[in-house]
């Protein structure tokens, strides 16, 4: 298949924008941290600051995840495979790619993946009767699981 040069350029542009957003948020986060440590006399303010920081951190994390996804989408475009669902092989509608350019699965498969993540999150939060049975269902291929595992680990930091 031919390289999807146009798509690669577009994805790379979005990736650059996303990286800039991450930088900007990190600066914002830095600015939030400094005044909070200087004035710890007002606990309500401190709580608000912590809340604000939490929001920025989760935003940074989701943008970092998006960057990884974009890099993966760029690799696929290089192979001429961008816009084709990685799990079931159907063509992803252009409207979906317009809204979520980093996506590499169709809406159906994305739903299945999310379902799998949710179940594993419930499983992870319930460490006492931790069982490995969910991963044995084999609905998704190993590669997708590995990607999602990385994302989950990031959230624990
Ligand atoms: Zn699919």
Q: Which residues contact 94 (CB under 8 A, 6 or more apart)?
A: 83
Distance between Cα 94 and ligand 1 center (Å): 14
- Number of helices (H), then strands (E), belonging to the chain: the values are 5, 0
pLDDT tens figures, 15-32:
999 999 999 999 999 987
Residue 28 forms part of a structural domain: yes
Distance between Cα 8 and ligand 1 center (Å): 21
User: Facing residues of 84 across strands?
Assistant: 91
Distance between Cα 157 and ligand 1 center (Å): 31
Q: Is the whole model's pTM more than 0.85, yes or no?
A: no
Of the candidates 41, 63, 81, which is a domain's last residue? 81
Distance between Cα 24 and ligand 1 center (Å): 34
Q: Both tokens of residue 45?
A: 């303010």
Distance (Å, whole) CA 101 – CA 54:
26
- The SS3 assignment for 36 reads helix
114 and 52 co-located in one domain: no
Distance between Cα 82 and ligand 1 center (Å): 13
- The SS3 assignment for 84 reads strand
pLDDT tens figures, 29-54:
998 777 655 555 667 778 888 888 99
Distance between Cα 141 and ligand 1 center (Å): 12
Q: Which domain holds residue 122?
A: 107-157
71 and 113 co-located in one domain: no
Kindly tell me the sign of the dihedral angle through the C-alpha atoms of 136, 137, 142, 143.
Answer: negative
Residue 71 forms part of a structural domain: yes
């Amino acid at each position: 298949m031919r390289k999807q040069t146009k798509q690669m350029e577009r994805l790379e542009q979005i990736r650059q924008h996303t990286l800039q957003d991450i930088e900007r948020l990190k600066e914002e986060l830095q600015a939030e941290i400094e005044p909070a440590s200087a004035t710890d006399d007002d606990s309500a303010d401190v709580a608000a600051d912590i809340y604000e920081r939490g929001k920025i951190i989760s935003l940074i994390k989701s943008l970092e995840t998006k960057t990884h996804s974009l890099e993966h989408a760029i690799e696929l475009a290089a192979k001429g495979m961008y816009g084709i669902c990685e799990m079931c092989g159907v063509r992803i509608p252009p409207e979906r790619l317009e809204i979520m350019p980093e996506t590499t699965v169709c809406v159906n498969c994305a739903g299945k993946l999310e379902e799998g993540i949710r179940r594993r999150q419930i499983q992870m939060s319930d460490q006492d009767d931790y069982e490995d049975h969910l991963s044995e269902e084999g609905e998704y291929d190993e590669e997708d699981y590995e990607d999602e595992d990385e994302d989950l680990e990031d959230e624990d930091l």
